[in-house]
Amino acid sequence: MNHDTDPDDREGLTDLVRTVETYLREHLGERVTLADIAKQTGFVDAFHFSQTFKRVVILSPKLFVGTQCSKAH
């Protein structure tokens, strides 16, 4: 995973979002931390993951997870 994902790089954006969505689906009902998601997407640091995710998705990881959870119900 390219940790410096360019917001115009749709493939990198798609990969990042798909990886997060898949991880959330696989762990539905479990307590998942930002550090867990960061590690799953290849980031060593939850802060760097959060900043990168927000820059490319335009939502914080917390808001994104909330939208994914509401879709699952």
Question: What pLDDT digit, counting tens, does each position of 6-53 carry?
Answer: 545 566 667 888 888 889 889 888 888 999 999 998 999 999 999 988
Q: How many domains does the chain have?
A: 1
Asked if residue 2 is part of any domain, the answer here is no
8 Å CB contact between 15 and 62: no
CA pair distance 73, 54, nearest whole angstrom: 24
Give the up-direction half-sphere exposure of residue 36: CA atoms within 13 A in the CB hemisphere: 13
Residue 49 lies in a domain: yes
pTM for the full model? 0.69
Residue 61: give the domain boundaries. 10-72
Structure tokens at 67: 């939208």
Tens of pLDDT, residue by residue over 56-70, are: 888 888 888 777 666
Residue 3 inside a domain? The answer is: no
**Residue 59 covered by a domain:** yes
